[in-house]
Structure 1
Amino acid sequence: MTGHRGRNSHRLVCAGALAALLFSSVGCGRLEEFSDPPASAPVEGDETPSLAVNESAVALLPDSVAARHTLRVAIPTNEPPTQFYSEGTRYMTGTNPDIARLIGKALNLDVDIKVVNFDSIIPGIAAGRYDTTVSSMTPTTKRMAAMDFVDYMQVGNAIVVAKGGEPVTKDTLCGKKVGVLTGSYQLTVNIPAYEQECATDGKPPIQIGQFQDTRQAISALTSGRQDAVLADSPILAYATANNPALELSDTFDDTPVAVGVTKEPALVDAVSAALDSVIASDAYREVLGKYGSESAMITHARVNAAQ
Structure 2
Amino acid sequence: MRNLNGGRRAAMGVAGAAVLLLSLAACGEKENAGTPGGGPSVTASADADLAAKVPDAIKADGVIKVGTDSTYAPAEFLDNDGSTVIGFDVELFNAVAQKLGLKAEYESAPFDAILPGVDSGKYEVGVSSFTINAERLKSVNMVSYFSAGTQWATKKGNPGGVDNENACGKKIAVQTGTVQVDDITARSKKCTDAGKPAITIDQYQAQSDATAAVVSGKDDAMLADSPVGAYAVKQSGGQLELLGDIYESAPYGYAVKKDQQAFAEVLKEAVQAVIADGTYKAALEKWGVEGGAVTSSELNPAG
1:279 deviates by 2.3
Aligned residue for 2:53, secondary structure, equals coil
1:54–1:262 Cα change, 3 Å: same
Q: Relative CO higher for 1 or 2, CA cutoff 8 Å, sep ≥ 6? A: 2
Q: Which of 266, 269, 275 is the aligned partner of 1:279? A: 275
1:219 deviates by 2.0
Q: Name the stretch that deviates more: 275-284 or 52-61.
A: 52-61
What is the CA deviation profile of residues 113-170 of structure 1, one whole-angstrom value per residue up to 9, with x for unaligned ones?
A: 1121212101211111111111110112221222110111011111111112245343
The reply on whether 1:22 has 2:15 as its aligned counterpart is no
Aligned length: 279
Aligned residue for 2:222, secondary structure, equals strand
1:190–1:133 Cα change, 3 Å: same
CA RMSD of aligned residues (A): 2.3
For normalisation by structure 1, the TM-score amounts to: 0.84
For normalisation by structure 2, the TM-score amounts to: 0.85
**Aligned partners of 2:71 and 2:39: how far apart in 1?**
17
**Aligned partners of 1:69 and 1:17: how far apart in 2?**
28
The reply on whether 1:290 has 2:289 as its aligned counterpart is no
Q: Once superposed, which parts of structure 1, at least 4 consecutive aligned residues long, lie more than 6 Å away?
A: none
1:181 deviates by 0.5
Q: Name the counterpart of 1:176.
A: 170
What is the CA deviation profile of residues 33-73 of structure 1, one whole-angstrom value per residue up to 9, with x for unaligned ones?
A: xxxxxxxxxxx945432222233322321111122221111
1:65–1:78 Cα change, 3 Å: same
1:20 deviates by 1.7
What is the CA deviation profile of residues 75-129 of structure 1, one whole-angstrom value per residue up to 9, with x for unaligned ones?
A: 1112221112222353221111111101111111111111212121012111111
Q: Name the counterpart of 2:247.
A: 252
Aligned residue for 2:115, secondary structure, equals helix
What is the CA deviation profile of residues 241-295 of structure 1, one whole-angstrom value per residue up to 9, with x for unaligned ones?
A: 1211111112322211111111211111111111111222322111111111011
1:288–1:102 Cα change, 3 Å: same
1:175 deviates by 2.0
Q: What amino acid is the match of 1:178?
A: I
1:191 deviates by 2.3
Aligned residue for 1:203, secondary structure, equals coil
Q: Name the stretch that deviates more: 127-136 or 199-208.
A: 199-208
The reply on whether 1:157 has 2:150 as its aligned counterpart is yes
**Aligned partners of 1:169 and 1:291: how far apart in 2?**
30
Alignment gaps of 5+ in structure 1? 5-14, 27-43
Q: Name the counterpart of 1:11.
A: none
The correspondence of residues 42-81 of structure 1 with structure 2, limited to 5 A, is: 45-81=38-74
